[in-house]
């Protein structure tokens, strides 16, 4: 557990990066996890090559869901939508630097789900 709330996660939770909304945005999507009440919205601006030039997330939820969204935003800025296709659970866990059980995994994965479904539609999302 001490791992789960390591300093970097609490830091992202308390001081989220790229937090807010983009208006206008090229891609906006939000989803929630009604079981815990986590909600994440992600806005993206992309250039003609589908490179993410600006990104932001908003919403509310537990430290794991919010910190993973914050870290994901830092990570994807400057990447292309194609790059995002390859992101997996392991990438998120690597960013967080922790291991999670099945319940908390849903919290951690919400931001990636919102990002992928927003960018490519729900068929791109394979929950494992």
Partner 1 sequence: MNINNGIDIDVIKKDFPALQREVHPGVPLVYLDTTATSQKPAAVLDSLNRYYSYHNANVHRGIHTLAEEATAAYENSRKCIASFIGATSEKEVIFLRNTTEAINLVAHAWGRSKLVAGDRVILSEMEHHSNLVPWHILSEALGVEIDVINVDDEGYLDMDHYVNLLNNGPKLVSVTHMSNVLGTVNPIKTISTLAHDAGAIVMVDAAQSVPHMKVDVNEIGADFVAFSAHKMCGPTGIGVLWGRRDILEDIPPFLGGGDMIKRVYLRSFAPNDLPYKFEAGTPAIGEAIGFGEAVRYLDGIGMDKIWDHEQTLVKYAMEKVNQVPGVTIYGPSNSQYRGGVVAFTLDGVHPHDIAQVLDSDGVAVRAGHHCAMPLHEKYSLMATARASFYIYNDVDDVDALVDSLDKVRHMFK
Give residues in contact with partner 1 (CB under 8 A): 1-2, 4-5, 10, 13-14, 34-39, 60-64, 104, 107
Q: Kindly tell me which of 13 and 29 has the beta carbon lying closer to partner 1.
A: 13
Residue 38 host element (H or E): strand 38-46
Angle between helix axes 89-96 and 102-120 (nearest 10 degrees) is 120
State in angstroms the smallest separation of the CB of 98 from partner 1: 11
Rounded CA gap, 60 and 35, in Å?
A: 13
Rounded CA gap, 56 and 42, in Å?
A: 6
Q: Kindly tell me which of 56 and 64 has the beta carbon lying closer to partner 1.
A: 64
State in angstroms the smallest separation of the CB of 94 from partner 1: 20
SS3 at position 22: coil
Q: Kindly tell me which of 61 and 118 has the beta carbon lying closer to partner 1.
A: 61
State in angstroms the smallest separation of the CB of 15 from partner 1: 13
State in angstroms the smallest separation of the CB of 14 from partner 1: 8
Q: Kindly tell me which of 13 and 52 has the beta carbon lying closer to partner 1.
A: 13
Rounded CA gap, 97 and 19, in Å?
A: 21
């Amino acid at each position: 557990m001490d791992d789960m709330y390591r300093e970097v996660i609490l830091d992202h939770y308390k001081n989220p990066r790229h937090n807010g909304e983009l208006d206008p945005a090229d891609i906006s999507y939000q989803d929630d996890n009604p079981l815990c009440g986590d909600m994440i919205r992600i806005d993206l601006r992309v250039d003609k090559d589908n490179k993410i030039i600006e990104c932001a997330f908003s919403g509310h939820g537990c430290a794991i869901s919010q910190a993973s969204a914050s870290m994901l935003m830092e990570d994807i800025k400057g990447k292309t939508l194609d790059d995002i296709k390859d992101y997996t659970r392991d990438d998120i866990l690597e960013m967080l630097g922790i291991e999670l059980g099945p319940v908390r995994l849903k919290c951690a994965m919400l931001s990636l789900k919102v990002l992928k479904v927003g960018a490519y539609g729900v068929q791109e999302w394979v929950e494992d």
